[in-house]
Chain A
């Protein structure tokens, strides 16, 4: 009885921790069933994720897009919307930034080839604005269709995801294709547009965009907790009928939320594109947009928790890569199993709320 109560209050107070623990537990059981020692598997994953500065750096590289896409889903979620379109928004945003960088670089080659402070700051700003604008516009269209035309955002988002992939593929192959490579990628952007990378990670391209992600999370948290706009978004999400009766234009809030969500998702790809090769490569995103849903879900829609949640999924992604050659029976797909279990337990309702009269 008392032990049951203790467990209950633990689950109640830390549902996310419960989700992580049970998720890993069942994931490792799967590993054990496949014939691996689960403790061995766990050690490999931890070492691969944070064992060396380089590994930690790569984990942060994977964390960066997940912070943005997680925030994107969280913002929409708090306003009562499900942004399944982060994937489309992030490829369009990434493409927009690349296009601007390439066009601008061609126009002002002198300026763009410099890697001193001013050009890089301007470069980062231009890319950021372009990505956020196009991503936000994509989100806004989805929000408009939902708020004013009544089309469900999940349906339109999925359609936009396909459109986004098609449009970017066409742009990469027909408009910005590199002549010196056979890969489906664009020409490299000029030096000024490369993202500033931090040393100390043995060459892992941890960029300024990681910091930008954390700053974005802080800003989103402040908007939600401290501003009237944040309240209007939350009220729309929590009880749109009451919000309407109190004079809030809930449709407008939906459009704002989706535009914000799209803008945040638009920035998600920049760390990868501008930090690594400096080229937009088709398929660069390993489902960052969709993993963002998992990130936001585990974080319960809380912007600051998104940072930690994104790190966990980043580490899981990086940690699982070594499983391919360090073990005999499991592959990196174990990360997907664990991720799935964590999400399952994060979205489980552990206790049904009793009716209070």
Chain B
């Protein structure tokens, strides 16, 4: 089913308009008279907090669900999408946040799947026009996340899409990848595509979009011209309150002096992972780990939790609260020390998606029952309910599977579950990734208050603002080693430029530093 209509669509204009789309689920109105339009050569930003109705709106536009009322117009004529296939036929393409790619297939094979044999020539041309850079013959598993994303976009273009919806595209990108990505978006719109960009990051939206539609609780609360709107105006429209920025706590207690987590000359040989780390996190201290993704951050968590498969050649020591971990099993560690974990992938590593919130509470390892072996469902349910109201998780009083909560609300639930157990050590990875502004603030507050109560926090994040706001110290991780450590300046800030430089330049020195044969080298400088 080759859909390459390049010859004539290349130059043809497209304009899509949503008029008064309304959709209810039970008693909840997810979209209430949503209207906006976007045309060729235009980038429309769609912003809003978690649960504002962005996903519902896009699902209607992409034919996943049918609106209760309202119409969708393509080039002025009314259309009705019964399935995504109808939407694709009409020239609409969607790039999901979670990629839908087969790891063992090559990029070209993916394109041929959607567009037939003629895909290659067209794809090569499109790649050149749009500034895409990756090897079409490489398998998806060998592509970086950013390249996989380019492939996803190319896929929908080859399917004949003229309107391209991107759901949180920058959430998965590292800081250095964002700017080139935005540049590609601009080229995409210049080539005559209409782009809808869903995002939480106001600065990116302001930089790249022509117009910005803001959604709040199911309505479009405003459509702004990106050139003339201020971030404060946007945030105000999103949150709906006068406030636009919560001040970061200026006065903070000094970090403690008792090391809670201590890794001494820890070495994990290359193979599945490679680490060479010495670090200490004291009580009442947050140590941030900066670094391009895939430089050993995930392995750091795995070896601390002792869930990495045993490997030969592991050496050095890891201790938590004075207990040596390397000889303990994962289960003994959890019984000995209370560790809160916000994993890298909340869906696959932190939740039982088909379970209800009460069931998922048990995954924290804490059983609130009076007897260790028996479950007290009443207690679990009431505790889950309390978390939902305390952390403002939507929808309130939810007792269905957590799969149906939005990503941001899943994360809030996870934070509540893990941080409410008074942890001695917190391992947090990207705690606010894909989470809206206000919820991010709440999550930051929660982490800071855990620190205030004496917890040691190891924070991995690719969000530089987040790292600078929360951390007492920031370490830059490159190829499994701590390349450099940064402390706060006199005025309380961090040398952001320096961190950025060592994230990238450290990579070069890191590769040079692999040659020495020292087994337990590396460590903090």
Mark A325-357 against chain B: 1 for CB-CB distance below 8 A, else 0: 000000000000000000000000000001111
Q: How far is the CA of A146 from the CA of B415 in the complex (A)?
A: 34
Mark B367-390 against chain A: 1 for CB-CB distance below 8 A, else 0: 100001111010000000000000
**Of A98-106, A204-212, A231-239, A305-313, the one with at least 4 CB within 8 A of chain B:** A231-239
Given that A226-B375, A239-B352, A356-B404 are contacting pairs, would A247 and B331 also be in contact in the complex, using a CB cutoff of 8 Å? yes
Residue in A226, A229, A231, A357 whose CB lies within 8 Å of B359:
A231
Q: Are A246 and B363 within 8 A (Cβ)?
A: yes
Among residues 202 to 234 in chain A, which have CB atoms less than 8 Å away from a CB atom of chain B?
A: 225-231, 234
Is A36's beta carbon under 8 Å from chain B? Answer: no
Q: Are B367 and A242 within 8 A (Cβ)?
A: no
Give the residues in chain B near A249, CB-CB below 8 Å.
329-331
Residue in A228, A241, A355 whose CB lies within 8 Å of B373:
A228
Q: Are A239 and B403 within 8 A (Cβ)?
A: no
Is A244's beta carbon under 8 Å from chain B? Answer: yes
Give the residues in chain A near B333, CB-CB below 8 Å.
247
Look across to chain A and name the residue whose beta carbon is closest to the beta carbon of B305: A245
Mark A242-275 against chain B: 1 for CB-CB distance below 8 A, else 0: 1111111100000000000000000000000000
Q: Are A227 and B375 within 8 A (Cβ)?
A: yes
Q: How far is the CA of A227 from the CA of B96 in the complex (A)?
A: 39
Is B208's beta carbon under 8 Å from chain A? Answer: no
Q: Are A242 and B348 within 8 A (Cβ)?
A: yes
Look across to chain B and name the residue whose beta carbon is closest to the beta carbon of A228: B373
Nearest first, the 7 closest Cβ-Cβ pairs linking A and B are A247-B334, A246-B363, A245-B349, A238-B352, A247-B365, A357-B55, A228-B373
Q: Are A238 and B348 within 8 A (Cβ)?
A: no
Give the residues in chain A near B367, CB-CB below 8 Å.
228
Give the residues in chain B near A239, CB-CB below 8 Å.
348, 351-353
Look across to chain B and name the residue whose beta carbon is closest to the beta carbon of A237: B352
Q: How far is the CA of A231 from the CA of B354 in the complex (A)?
A: 13
Q: Are B97 and A357 within 8 A (Cβ)?
A: yes
Is B341's beta carbon under 8 Å from chain A? Answer: yes
Look across to chain B and name the residue whose beta carbon is closest to the beta carbon of A354: B64
Q: Are B374 and A227 within 8 A (Cβ)?
A: yes
Give the residues in chain A near B55, CB-CB below 8 Å.
356-357
Residue from A239, A246, A355 whose CB has the most chain B CB atoms within 10 Å: A246
Give the residues in chain B near A355, CB-CB below 8 Å.
64, 96
Q: How far is the CA of A317 from the CA of B258 in the complex (A)?
A: 70
Mark B404-438 against chain A: 1 for CB-CB distance below 8 A, else 0: 10010000000000000000000000000000000
Q: Are B307 and A245 within 8 A (Cβ)?
A: yes
**What is the minimal beta-carbon distance from B17 to any residue of chain A, in angstroms?**
23
Q: Are A231 and B330 within 8 A (Cβ)?
A: no
**What is the minimal beta-carbon distance from B489 to any residue of chain A, in angstroms?**
36
Given that A235-B352, A242-B349, A245-B343 are contacting pairs, would A228 and B307 also be in contact in the complex, using a CB cutoff of 8 Å? no
**What is the minimal beta-carbon distance from B117 to any residue of chain A, in angstroms?**
28
Residue in A225, A226, A241, A244 whose CB lies within 8 Å of B330:
A244
Q: How far is the CA of A235 from the CA of B352 in the complex (A)?
A: 7
Give the residues in chain A near B354, CB-CB below 8 Å.
238
**What is the minimal beta-carbon distance from B404 to any residue of chain A, in angstroms?**
6
List residues of chain B with CB under 8 Å of any chain A CB.
55, 59, 64, 96-98, 167, 305, 307, 329-331, 333-334, 341, 343, 348-355, 359, 362-365, 367, 372-375, 377, 403-404, 407
Classify the interface of chain A: helix, strand, loop or mixed: helix
Q: How far is the CA of A229 from the CA of B373 in the complex (A)?
A: 7
Q: How far is the CA of A241 from the CA of B343 in the complex (A)?
A: 11
16 contacts between A and B (CB under 8 A): A227-B373, A228-B362, A228-B372, A235-B362, A238-B353, A239-B352, A239-B353, A241-B348, A244-B307, A245-B341, A245-B343, A246-B334, A247-B333, A247-B334, A355-B64, A357-B407
Q: How far is the CA of A242 from the CA of B417 in the complex (A)?
A: 14
**What is the minimal beta-carbon distance from B172 to any residue of chain A, in angstroms?**
13
Q: How far is the CA of A247 from the CA of B362 in the complex (A)?
A: 11
Look across to chain B and name the residue whose beta carbon is closest to the beta carbon of A355: B96
Q: How far is the CA of A243 from the CA of B403 in the complex (A)?
A: 16
Q: Are B362 and A231 within 8 A (Cβ)?
A: yes
Give the residues in chain A near B364, CB-CB below 8 Å.
246
Q: Are B96 and A357 within 8 A (Cβ)?
A: yes
Given contacts A226-B374, A356-B403, A357-B407, 9 further A-B contacts (CB under 8 A): A229-B373, A235-B363, A241-B348, A242-B349, A245-B341, A245-B343, A247-B330, A247-B334, A248-B331
Give the residues in chain A near B404, CB-CB below 8 Å.
356
Q: Are B363 and A243 within 8 A (Cβ)?
A: yes
Q: How far is the CA of A281 from the CA of B130 in the complex (A)?
A: 75
Given that A231-B359, A247-B365, A354-B64 are contacting pairs, would A242 and B331 also be in contact in the complex, using a CB cutoff of 8 Å? no
**What is the minimal beta-carbon distance from B46 to any residue of chain A, in angstroms?**
13
Mark A127-139 against chain B: 1 for CB-CB distance below 8 A, else 0: 0000000000000
**What is the minimal beta-carbon distance from B127 to any residue of chain A, in angstroms?**
27
Residue in B348, B375, B407 whose CB lies within 8 Å of A231:
B375
Give the residues in chain A near B351, CB-CB below 8 Å.
239, 242
**What is the minimal beta-carbon distance from A281 to any residue of chain B, in angstroms?**
41
Q: How far is the CA of A355 from the CA of B65 in the complex (A)?
A: 11
Look across to chain A and name the residue whose beta carbon is closest to the beta carbon of B344: A245
Give the residues in chain A near B353, CB-CB below 8 Å.
238-239
Q: Are B334 and A242 within 8 A (Cβ)?
A: no
Q: How far is the CA of A242 from the CA of B359 in the complex (A)?
A: 13
Q: How far is the CA of A239 from the CA of B363 in the complex (A)?
A: 11
Q: How far is the CA of A231 from the CA of B348 in the complex (A)?
A: 17
Q: Are A245 and B167 within 8 A (Cβ)?
A: no
Q: How far is the CA of A276 from the CA of B61 in the complex (A)?
A: 67
Give the residues in chain A near B352, CB-CB below 8 Å.
234-235, 238-239, 242
Q: How far is the CA of A238 from the CA of B341 in the complex (A)?
A: 19
